[in-house]
Every structure is written in C-alpha cells, then in structure tokens.
Amino acid sequence: MTAITATEPLRTGASEWVDEVLLNGADNDVCLHLKTGPIARSALRRLVRDKQETLVAAGVRPGGCVALNLPPSLTYVANLLAVWRAGAQAVLLDHRLTRYEVDAAVDRLGVQVLVAVGATHGSPLDVFHDVTEVITAREGRQANAPHAVLQLSSGSTGPSKVIGRTAEDLVAEVHRYTEIDGVPLPGERIVLLPSMVHVLGLVGGLLYGLHAGIELVPPRRLTGESILDAVASGDTPATVLGVPFHIGLLNSVAEPRKLGQLKRMTTGGELVPAAVSATFDEKYGVPLGNMWGMTELGVIATDLFGEHRPALLPAPGIEVREVAGELLIRRRESPYVGLSDPARWADGWLHTKDAGRVDPDTGLVTVLGRLDSQVSVGGLKVDLTEVEHTLTELPGVAAAVVLYDREITAFVQLAGDTPGQSVEAALAERLAAYKRPKTTHFVTALPRTTTGKLVRDRTVLHDTIS
C-alpha cells in the first residue's frame, strides 16, 4: 500500500482522506480479527457506508460535531470512520467515563450528536466488545475549529484539556509510523491492547494498521495468557502494542510459551522500570520497544529495539530541544482548543512539561519524568521520579506514586503479602535519608486514569488511604 507522504496535498472533503488513507486496499485484506472471525476490508467499507447513512439521517452534516462514547469494538471503528467520512468532527470519550462526565463533556464541546452504547453482548471482561449503538441528537453547534478529532487529556495531574487534531495532522503521524524502524510491516499483525479512544491505540494501532495493511488482533480477555493466545492465533509475525501495565500481565505468566510469531512488544506511556524490562527479556527473549508521545501530537520518539534504553530517537520530522531542563517539540500551531496558554505552547514550540535532555551529538532524547518532579528538601535537590523508580524496583512493590507538599509523601501498592516495613527497610539501603519519603501510605490499589496512567492528584490519592 502506498504511503501518503506528509508533503502531498491531502483532500479532506467528506470522504477522500478516509477512503484514500485508511480504507484503500484489496477487498479480501483482513483488517480486524475478532472472536467472531476476520473482518475483510470490503466488509469494513460497507459497514462504514451504512453507519454514515444512519448518522446523516440523524442530522450529521459536514462541519458537525459528533461524540463517540463507545468501548473498543467494530461498532466504534465503523462509527468513527463514518463520522470522518461524513465530514464531521469526532469527539472521543472513553467508555469508562461516568454519565456525569459524559454529559459535562458534550455540553462543554457543543456536541450535536452522541453515539453511545445501546446494548452490550458478551462478557464485560472482553477487550473488544460486541455492542450496538444508540444515537441521540442534541442542541449543539457546528464545529468551531477545523479539527477532525477532539480528545481530552488523561487528567492524571488535574482537569482535562481539550486537544484538537486535523486530518492532515493525523495523516502526517500515520506517515511518521511508516518511516520508523521496527514498526509492524504490511502483512503482519498487531495484538492491540490500548484503547482506540487514546492516541497510542488510535493512531499507532487502528489508523496505522488500516493504512499499512496490518491485521489488528485484540485478545479475548485482558490477561497474559489471552494475549499469548492472540499471538499464537496466526502464523504471521505479531507485535504486542500496549502500556507498562500490559507488560506486567505478560510478566505474570508463570511459564510463558515461546512463540515464534512474537516479534516484539512496544509500549508507550510511563517509563518502564529496569526490573520489569529485565523480567520481560528473561521470559520472552524478544525486543521490548519503548515509545514516547503525547495526545497533542502522537508519537515523538522511539526505541523499538531496546538499544538505547532509557533514551529514544526522535521520530522522522519531529524536532525536540531542551530548554532549562524541559523538552520542547516544534509544532506550528497550538493543539489546545479554547485555551491560550504560553506556558504550554508559544512561538511554534509545544511545552511537554517533561524533564529531559537531548544529546547534542546523537540527538537521542532521555525523558526524566515530569518537570514538577524536581523539588528542594532542606536546600538539597531531589528528583521524585528517582524516588518512584527506586521504590518500584524493590521486591514486593507493584506500583508507587511520590508527591511533594512540604514533605515527600509516597503512596505504595504492594504485591501479595509483602510487609510495608520490609519495603521501607530496603528503601533505606538504596536512598539517602533526605530523599526518602517522610510519610509512606501502603494502599490496596493505586488509582489510574482511563489510559492506565497512575493518578497523581493528591485528593484522589488520599481517598485511597483506609
């Protein structure tokens, strides 16, 4: 399949970019392989056209605003492509949001049509769901910006921001994927674990897979064994795409199968602790690739062969620079809708709010954690990310969040029956006293966002203390 280059003019009428970039290809190409069987490209095209007719009958017009509040499913995929094919703007709302959160989002964004779950069939433990939709017309407004998609930031550190991306922007990212060494190749498979509402699953999984002729294979259940079953379900090479949480699922398999089809696992999101990476390598012996990206612009840098860990190489066409310890990305326009904040975007540079460094000789980027993780304790500089990583590498620690509010405080999720005292004793052997948490709360489970990131909001974390 011919890649659409970032420099080619892109037709963004009612159907051109969807048909040319995503739905083009041989009729018998398999796009998705669900538990009900394979979905050929010709069948997906028919389904998208049918959904488009239904949406138009419900009042969707070019320039309209449609919200999708659906779980990962063929229904979601078809409705998303149908919204774009109708020339409308898609607002992507995670299906795990509460009704209150959904209502607040559609009111805030002026949504005209809401597509939500009407009925669900199968198990709630399914990764890809079998659902039918219900379409509700609302008194919204025409899209007031030229974006093809609106997404809400994860909200791990505060209120969500509205992020908009144009069709040209999405196609440019799809093209970036085609030029990254180590991505799945045409004819291969992606075992898709992250939600397609969020950027990794949306572009790195769905859109790139459709464009490049790669079969998407979601596992039946979100377990380590089920992920391996999905890898073993075909003969072609398979890349597992997920986040660090999913590495934990695979690492939890006591005696994993050695599968020749498993090509690599690629993970985005938070940094992967060295101990987790080492366990994965011992169990599976394939590359554990790393990606760094943002909802605002998608993939930024990668290390898909695990050669530079923890450093990454900027993706083609991405320019990264380090200013006062912060990583900035060149971007022509602000991605934020209804927000003018020079602390986030100014003069063609996007502020990532991530601390890091750029090697002047190799261009390799090392992400050191959130910029606000640097604190001063008694005049001594402490990197809270270092404290977190040290905690998570200790035996018996499943996850940890470290905050600072006049003192260093840790929230630690233990694995099994590990006593908290042993964790504190082990930490004392590895960190100087001024770096160690003044208070440590051991909790049953740390809260996470819908994308699987650990929540860092103090109020939410304190609610976990029993």
Instruction: Set out the domains of the chain in order of their start, with CATH numbers.
Output: 16-165 (3.40.50.980), 169-318 (3.40.50.980), 319-371 (2.30.38.10), 378-462 (3.30.300.30)
pLDDT at 30 over 60: yes
Which residue in 384, 307, 371 sits closest to 290, CA to CA? 307
pTM score of the predicted model: 0.83
- As a whole number, mean pLDDT of residues 424-451 equals 88
Predicted pLDDT at 231: 97
369 — pLDDT class (breaks 50, 70, 90) = confident
Predicted pLDDT at 373: 74
pLDDT at 362 over 50: yes
Is there a contact between 268 and 293 (Cβ–Cβ < 8 Å)?
yes
- Name the phi and psi angles at 40, rounded to 5: -80, 160
Strand ranges in 295-358 using DSSP code E only, listed in sequence order: 298-303, 311-314, 320-323, 326-330, 345-346, 349-358
Predicted pLDDT at 12: 46
Average pLDDT of the chain is 89
Alpha-helical regions (H) of 9-136: 16-17, 41-57, 74-85, 99-109
- As a whole number, mean pLDDT of residues 311-324 equals 95
